[in-house]
Chain A
Amino acid sequence: MNWQAMKSIYVFEMVRTFRTLWQSVVSPVISTSLYFVVFGAAIGSRIDEVEGVTYGAFIVPGLIMLTVLVQSISNASFGIYFPKFIGTIYELLSAPVNILEIVAGYVGAAATKSFAIGLIILGTAYLFVPLDIQHPFLMLGFLMLTCLSFSLLGFIIGIWAGSFEQLQIIPLLVITPLVFLGGSFYSVSMLPPFWQTVTMFNPVLYLISGFRWAFFGTADVPVALSLLAIAAFTVICIGVIWLIFRTGWRIKN
């Protein structure tokens, strides 16, 4: 293993994060705070408890997921797309590194950044609502797995993208709607039966449900199913990345 290369990629990407600290951390915190103000305080104060949890607290896992999913994809996709865009990918392709080392460096950095943002948002949530996390370690584990798997997806998107606009397409047009419709702001049990069935086809539901279970002990789907879904998603992403490097798709001439 070329540990030195992995470390170099990881550190290089993390340094970029600190260089753009404002966009990286402050922006998601501000936007999440706004969600708390609007949904938690303004609208939430008029809503009764949902499944035994105050509405302001109920939306915390969904809000963290919303930011973490978008950030994971954005960070990882930008991390690999930018070298492609400016041409520095030549260095990566000519270095004595294998797929695992490249992915570990880029995805590791993207996941670390998203994980940190998730924790910052959690800290911000404490400023607005009282929270009593029932399974704190599982919550952290769930958050970490989510950051990792969606950073893998972001890495794939970064390789696929041919322009900066394409980088934004998946987070904006796919992930954000799926998070909103995956029970971020409501329990699936609040929907009519038909829409409950439709929602079951939304993969993000399983993430939010599992994450919410770690917070409050209640879930829309069994927690084992949530873990299985995220594990399957991670394996699929790893498989696709392996295939990309094997064929050189979109990265080699």
Chain B
Amino acid sequence: MSVMLSVRDLSKTYGSGHEALKSVSLDIEEGEIIALLGPNGAGKTTLISTICGITTPSGGSVTVGGHDIITDYRPARRLIGLVPQEVSLEPFEKVINTVSFSRGLFGKPRDDAHIERTLRQLSLWDKRNAQIKELSGGMKRRVLIAKALSHEPRILFLDEPTAGVDVELRKGMWETVSGLKADGVTIILTTHYIEEAEAIADRVGIISKGQILLVEEKSALMKRMGKKTMRIDLQSPISALPEALGDRGLEIEDDGHSLLYTYDTAATRTGITTLLQALSDAGITLRDIHTNQNSLEDIFVELVKDGA
């Protein structure tokens, strides 16, 4: 696959002196979905705004589809669709007009068939003649996506597209994103919601204080950094661990009714077999066993904490 977006040493320092981006470098391949995770003020929106031309970079370079965003901005921007974080729409405008306007703004000739297809895909066709102010919050978000898709971009930026929307709509949005990926659109998504990244991204980038801490395949990241816990429910409670189990890192929980064992899934030996044997030898009878995989959220919190 070819590189669709290449960011090299991108930096942005605002007039106030605040360094929002510190030498950020990132390559994104065509057709992939990458989720950028980061706390408030991490630089996610600044990164997107700079790539899209809304904010002027202080240093570094960006190419989109091989076109520099400053010296060759027209072809670069034609490839980009942007769905901003804020719901920014003309309240008195009709849905179809505002979407058609976006297409024209990006230099594309009128194409009613494409606009209809886009609106139908986003379940907005029935509302095409409604004024924006008449729409629900979820519909407005979809209008923003329709505007961003109106000129058939090859790379789509979704800046926190599901912020403040209900679970049902969020899942609908994920389906839309998956559909776009199937059409070959490269998607860069920023989000606060870890489960969003977990559900739809191919790769995850973690950004904090204007720096990219890591970019990795989601599954590899979870495998590399993922820890699992095993909760062992006991038939009878214990007040202290038998001496033979003392060095295994077990924790007593629920007033002695459970033991918690944390292990590394990437390790050669997880120690589960010997632990169960040792519990049996110590005369401890088990009632149940549950295992739990660490989520991206745990990994994210750990990384941001370490990067602080």
The interface of chain A, by Cβ under 8 A from chain B, is: 2, 4-5, 7-9, 11-12, 15, 19, 82, 86-88, 90-97, 248, 252-253
Contacts and interface: CB of A to CB of B under 8 A. Distances in A.
8 contacts: A2-B74, A4-B104, A5-B105, A8-B103, A93-B53, A96-B74, A96-B77, A97-B105
Contacts of B76: 96
B147 interface: yes
A86 B89 contact: yes
Chain A interface SS verdict (over half): helix
A167 B199 CA distance: 47
B19 interface: no
B105 A9 contact: yes
Contacts of A91: 82, 88, 102, 105, 147
**Size category of the binding interface on chain B:** 20 to 34
Contacts of B105: 5, 8-9, 91-92, 95, 97
Contact of A95 (B77, B89, B91, B97): B77
The 3 A-B pairs at the shortest CB distance, nearest first, are namely A8-B104, A87-B88, A96-B74
Contact of A5 (B49, B73, B91, B106): B106
A148 B244 CA distance: 90
Contacts of B54: 90, 93-94, 252-253
B80 A86 contact: no
B52 A253 contact: no
Given A90-B54, A248-B56, A4 B102 contact: no
A97 B84 CA distance: 19
A252 B55 contact: yes
Contacts of A2: 74, 107
A244 to B, nearest CB: 13
Contacts of A97: 105
Interface in B69-101: 73-78, 80, 82, 84, 86, 88-92, 97, 100-101
Given A86-B89, A90-B82, A95-B77, A253 B107 contact: no
A197 B130 CA distance: 57
B101 A8 contact: yes
Interface string B207-228: 0000000000000000000000
Given A5-B104, A5-B106, A7-B104, A94 B52 contact: yes
Contacts of A11: 104
Nearest to B73: A96
Nearest to A85: B88
